[in-house]
């Protein structure tokens, strides 16, 4: 696309077009460490809106659907064992550029190198070196969709339409 057309496209966008939904899972390590409340409050404090939420103990089949991009990777077996080891808390979270903002709050995949201040940097310290030697998946507390497309697919997999709610928060009044 030419620069001029790109500008035209940007001009046509409405502010509401920037509002996205993303899927967050508090993984079994977070649930078993009683971190649910603390982690949810991180998202609430920045003004993101929880529009759907439930606790689910997923099956190996469901894991293969959720992590379909990883099924053929060497670490998949250990990832499946990890994500099915106990219930997870699933949430759809809404906000301005929510996919990117939530990934920023979550931090990078390996807790050892995830910056302090991010969830993975603050609540875990597992390293690839250690998990490779043990043959286990990296315990990193939380999942967040990587792209807006991934978010749409994942929310569809985890939630029915009537489980996702539209409502107003004070942030809608003061921020939007
Ligand atoms: P998630 O999709 O869970 O939010 P991510 O997008 O940061 O994590 P992915 O590359 O999608 O990272 O990997 C999915 C999950 O698989 C990771 O969160 C981690 O639990 C596990 N994992 C990924 N790579 C490895 C690895 N090399 N060794 C062990 N576990 C891994
Ligand atoms: Mg991922």
Domains of the chain, start order: 15-174 (3.30.70.141)
Predicted local distance difference test score (pLDDT) of residue 39: 98
Residue range 2-41, pLDDT digits in tens: 555 556 566 788 999 999 999 999 999 999 999 999 999 9
According to the model, what pLDDT value does residue 2 have? Answer: 56
- Pocket lining: 126 vs ligand 1, CB cutoff 6 Å: no
62 Cβ closer than 6 Å to some ligand 1 atom = no
Instruction: For ligand 1, say whether the CB of 87 is within 6 Å of any of its atoms.
Output: no
pTM above 0.85, yes or no: yes
User: Using CA atoms, how far apart are residues 95 and 74, in angstroms rounded to an integer?
Assistant: 35
Active site residue 143: yes
pLDDT of amino acid 67: 98
> Burial, 142: exposed, middle or buried (Cβ in 10 Å; 0-12, 13-18, 19+)?
buried
- Rounded CA-CA distance 174/135 in Å is 48
Q: What is the pLDDT of residue 57?
A: 98
| Regions of the chain short of the pLDDT cut 50 | none
Q: Which of 70, 125, 126, 143 is catalytic?
A: 143
Spatial CB neighbours of 113, under 8 Å, sequence gap ≥ 6: 127
Distance 137 CA to ligand 1 centre (A): 8
Dihedral angle sign, alpha carbons of residues 104, 105, 111, 117: positive
Separation of CA 88 and ligand 1 centre (Å): 16
């Amino acid at each position: 696309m030419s620069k001029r057309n790109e500008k035209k496209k940007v001009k046509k966008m409405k502010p509401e077009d920037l509002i996205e939904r993303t899927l967050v899972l508090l993984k079994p390590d977070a649930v078993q460490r009683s971190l649910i409340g603390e982690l949810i409050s991180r998202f609430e404090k920045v003004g993101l809106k929880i529009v759907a939420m439930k606790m689910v103990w997923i099956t190996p089949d469901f894991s293969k659907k959720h992590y379909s991009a990883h099924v053929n990777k060497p670490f998949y077996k250990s990832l499946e064992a990890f994500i099915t080891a106990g219930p997870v808390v699933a949430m759809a979270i809404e906000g301005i550029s929510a996919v990117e903002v939530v990934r920023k709050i979550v931090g990078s995949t390996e807790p050892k190198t995830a910056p302090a201040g991010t969830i993975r940097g603050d609540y875990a310290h597992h390293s690839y070196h250690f998990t490779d030697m043990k043959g286990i998946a990296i315990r990193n507390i939380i999942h967040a969709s990587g792209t807006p497309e991934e978010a749409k697919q994942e929310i569809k997999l985890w939630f029915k339409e009537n489980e996702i709610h539209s409502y107003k928060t004070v942030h809608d009044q003061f921020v939007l």
